[in-house]
Structure 1
Amino acid sequence: MLTVDFDRFPVEPGMSVLDVGCGQGRHSYEALRRGGDVTAFDLNEDDLAEVSTMFGAMDAEGQVPASGAYRTVAGDARQMPFDDASFDRVIASEVLEHIVDDESAMAEIARVTKPGGLVAVTVPRYWPEKICWMLSTPYHEVEGGHVRINKGSDLTKRLERQGLEAFGTHHAHALHSPYWWLKCAVGVDNDTNPAVKAYHRLLVWDMMKAPALTRTAEKALNPVMGKSFVVYLRKPAQA
């Protein structure tokens, strides 16, 4: 399930791609399939071990183009171990809402991006997230949980203050908003609730089969109730 739209955020063969807070690696895998030189970066070494295993499996199954390369690196997004202007593309998907000092992470994202390079940042959308917080304290007050609710316009301005230029936004995953409202209402750890189980089956079916009915419905609903806000930015080229 991709949040970043790779039509708006093109990765061409051989481009260096950094996936900040890669988690389970979904965007790293897509960038690798497109022939990128991918660095999956995260604080969680267990997640990185799983990503590394999947990278190897993709390579063994012939899913990695000749131009593709991959590695995992553990570290803190507020102080990344990369040189200035190292990457053509930088992705930070659903990570900034977890970081108390997110300004430092934004500065690092801008620092490691090459002049002329692109950045894609995604966070939970303000009003669907606000409902989750209202319905459930455990939803956000957990170790490693969400520490803030971002307004898209404010987030964009803060990223632009780091020297980046926004050129597009959109919302994604509208069908996931009701699922999380339901989970927050019945208990975020209550996976046995019949309604939660039924909705989860629907989401899995949608992800696996991508039927026209749900794809069309979500596309229509994304501007209204998309769970994620996505902003695309460019680092100005040097004169």
Structure 2
Amino acid sequence: MLTVDFDRLGVGPGVKVIDVGAGAGRHSYEAYRRGAEVVAFDQSATDMAEVATMFEAMAEAGEVPPSARAEAVVGNALELPYADGTFDCVIASEILEHVPEDDAAIAELVRVLKKGGKLAVTVPRWLPERICWALSDEYHANEGGHIRIYKADELRDKIAARGLKFTHTHHAHSLHSPFWWLKCAVGVEESEHPAVSAYHRLLVWDMMQRPLLTRVAEAALNPLIGKSVALYFDKPAVDVALV
């Protein structure tokens, strides 16, 4: 389940990509399939070990072009171990809402991006997230949980203030918003609740089969209740003075 539009990012052979806060690796895998040189980066050693194993399996199965490269790296998003301007594309999907020092994290994302490169940032959308918080403290008040709710324009301006040019935005995963509202209403840990289980089966079926009906429904609902908002930026090829 991808949140980022890879066609918009121009990810392909020879493009150097870092997926910061890669988690289970969904965006890293897509970049790898497209032939990029990929770094999946996350603070979780367990997640990165599993991602590294999947990278190997993908290569062995012939799912990636021979020129593609991928590695999984454990580290701190506030101190990315790369030189300025290392990557053509930086992805940070569903991570900033977890980071207390989000300004420092944004500065690092911008720092390692090449001039002329592209940045994609996604976070939970304000309205669906606000409903989740209202329904359940358990949803967000836990170690590693969501510590803030972004308004898209505020996050856009915060990133643009680092000298990047905002280029596009879209919403995604509207069918997931009611699922999380349901989980928050019955209890976040109540995964075996009949209603939660039934909705989860629907989502899995939708992701695997991608039927036209649900594709059309999700596209229509995304502007209204999309669970995530994606923001895209370009780093100017020449330095821009910050005001």
What interval of TM-score do these two structures reach, taking the shorter chain for normalisation?
A: over 0.9
The 5 Å alignment of 1:181-196 reads 181-196=181-196
Distance (Å, rounded) in 2 between the aligned partners of 1:214 and 1:100: 36
**Secondary structure of the residue that 2:230 maps to in structure 1?**
strand
The 5 Å alignment of 1:1-239 reads 1-238=1-238
Aligned-pair CA distance for 1:6: 1.2
Query: What TM-score, normalized by structure 2, do the two folds share?
Result: 0.97
**Secondary structure of the residue that 2:80 maps to in structure 1?**
coil
Identity across matched positions, percent: 59
Distance (Å, rounded) in 2 between the aligned partners of 1:135 and 1:213: 29
- Gapped regions of structure 1 (runs ≥ 5): none
Aligned-pair CA distance for 1:192: 1.2
What is the Cα-based RMSD across aligned positions, in Å? 0.7
Divergent runs of 4+, >3 A: none
Structure 2 counterpart of 1:148, one-letter code: R
Distance (Å, rounded) in 2 between the aligned partners of 1:93 and 1:135: 24
Aligned-pair CA distance for 1:66: 2.0
Aligned-pair CA distance for 1:163: 1.3
Per-residue deviation, residues 46-105 of structure 1 (Å, max 9, x unmatched):
000010010000000001102200111111111111100000000000000000000000
Distance (Å, rounded) in 2 between the aligned partners of 1:163 and 1:109: 12
Distance (Å, rounded) in 1 between the aligned partners of 2:204 and 2:11: 27
**Secondary structure of the residue that 1:8 maps to in structure 2?**
helix
Query: What TM-score, normalized by structure 1, do the two folds share?
Result: 0.99
Structure 2 counterpart of 1:63, one-letter code: E
Aligned-pair CA distance for 1:237: 0.3
**Secondary structure of the residue that 2:6 maps to in structure 1?**
coil
**Secondary structure of the residue that 2:238 maps to in structure 1?**
coil
Structure 1 counterpart of 2:153, one-letter code: S
Aligned-pair CA distance for 1:119: 0.4
Aligned-pair CA distance for 1:238: 2.2
Distance (Å, rounded) in 2 between the aligned partners of 1:223 and 1:67: 38
Distance (Å, rounded) in 1 between the aligned partners of 2:218 and 2:67: 34
**Secondary structure of the residue that 1:166 maps to in structure 2?**
strand
Distance (Å, rounded) in 1 between the aligned partners of 2:221 and 2:58: 33
- Gapped regions of structure 2 (runs ≥ 5): none
